[in-house]
Amino acid sequence: MIKACEFLQKRHLPCVAHTINLVVQSCLAIDCLQDILLKCKRIVTYFKSSSIALSKFKASQETDIKYSLIQEVPTRWNSAYHMIERILLTNEAISKVLLSTSKAPTPFTADEVAILKDIVQLLSPFDNATKQVSSSTSVTASLIVPIVCGLLHTLDSFRLKLNSFEGIEALNCLVDQVKKRLLGYEKRTFPKMSTLLDPRFKKQGFRSPFNADDGLHALENELAALKKVSPLDPPTPTEKESDCQQPLFEFVVKNISTLGRTNRVDAIVELQQYMRAAHSPQQTDPLKFWKGAPDDSLLKTTAERLFCMQASSTESERSFSKTGQIISARRASLKAKNVDILSFLNKNMWISNYSINE
């Protein structure tokens, strides 16, 4: 995808979801977590490979829903987090089966459970961030900068809640990786302008006030490029003046008629009016907000263009996966034209369903 953007000379934004996954993988690769992660994988593999142990495991769960364990898959984002979360959820049943079965792995100790709880607590906001930036039904471009800022604030709040040395080491690693890999998104032009045009965030969604001001300056340039010079109409006199007075002030009327507003002044005025307006930070949908704006609003035009940008490449990856399901072993002779039609219908069928429901 990067090569395609370079070939077409198009500006591109690195996939935020993939960058978040790199941050998590760097944390899980530190030495102090290797033993506990390896033990988790061994226990999950034991239950996956033994039908007797699996049946005992489900019978030991004193809940209506019988859970299965989840194995970590390197190519699946946040799979380690889901594996540990499921282990903690069913740890009591796991211990019963392992203690009552010969040649089974040793169950988790209290110290190991504390480490797992710290890991789950640290990785939970990253799982939430991945889901939000990977959405295909909502605006994601304006979430990049606030999510990075929110991750740093959330991690900082965890410092007094961790109960293990391994958890503290993982926290320090995550903070360093977020600053190294994710903090640079706040300096990019498109995410800055998208965040400012989202009524939920505006300048309050930034970690650095300097980056927010720089985004405002970029928005002014964007609006000034779209704005056409609209000369001011000369004021209509309220009272009819005598003929003897008009020639004396005719030069004033000419000067006013030739006076025109500059592109930048109009852009600044429109932008300041939007920034000063109060909006609810939790309940305002940016799409609905700009849908209700006047059609001649330059901010609306800019927001529609910026909000089309995706924060991650997950939607294209979903299209690749769906196309792979369409071209199965029994349908290997499909023509390329038919594959394009089927893929298009599969991804856009929701539009007809939405129209029917409306």
pLDDT of 184 > 50? The answer is: yes
Q: In whole angstroms, give the CA distance from residue 203 to residue 209.
A: 7
**Segment 116-144 mean pLDDT:** 93
pLDDT of 201 > 60? The answer is: yes
pLDDT of 31 > 90? The answer is: yes
pLDDT band at 353; cut points 50, 70, 90:
low
pLDDT of 130 > 60? The answer is: yes
227 residue type, one letter: K
Question: pLDDT at position 13, please?
Answer: 79
**Segment 296-323 mean pLDDT:** 85
| Helical packing angle, 110-133 and 34-49, nearest 10° | 90
* Lowest-pLDDT choice from 77-91, 179-193, 332-346: 332-346
299 is written with which tokens? Answer: 């901010």
pLDDT of 52 > 70? The answer is: yes
**Segment 290-310 mean pLDDT:** 86
Q: In whole angstroms, give the CA distance from residue 53 to residue 291.
A: 56
272 is written with which tokens? Answer: 């300041």
- For residues 103 and 131, the answer to whether their CB atoms sit within 8 Å is no
* pLDDT > 90: percent of the chain: 46
pLDDT of 242 > 70? The answer is: no
Cα within 13 Å of Cα(54), Cβ side: 12
- Does pTM surpass 0.85? no
pLDDT of 244 > 60? The answer is: no
- For residues 111 and 124, the answer to whether their CB atoms sit within 8 Å is no
Question: pLDDT at position 282, please?
Answer: 60
* Lowest-pLDDT choice from 2-6, 26-30, 144-148: 2-6
pLDDT of 241 > 60? The answer is: no
Question: pLDDT at position 1, please?
Answer: 66
**Segment 3-29 mean pLDDT:** 85
**Segment 173-182 mean pLDDT:** 95
pLDDT of 126 > 50? The answer is: yes
319 residue type, one letter: S
pLDDT digits (tens, 9 = 90+) for 82-124: 999 999 999 999 999 999 988 899 999 999 999 999 999 999 9
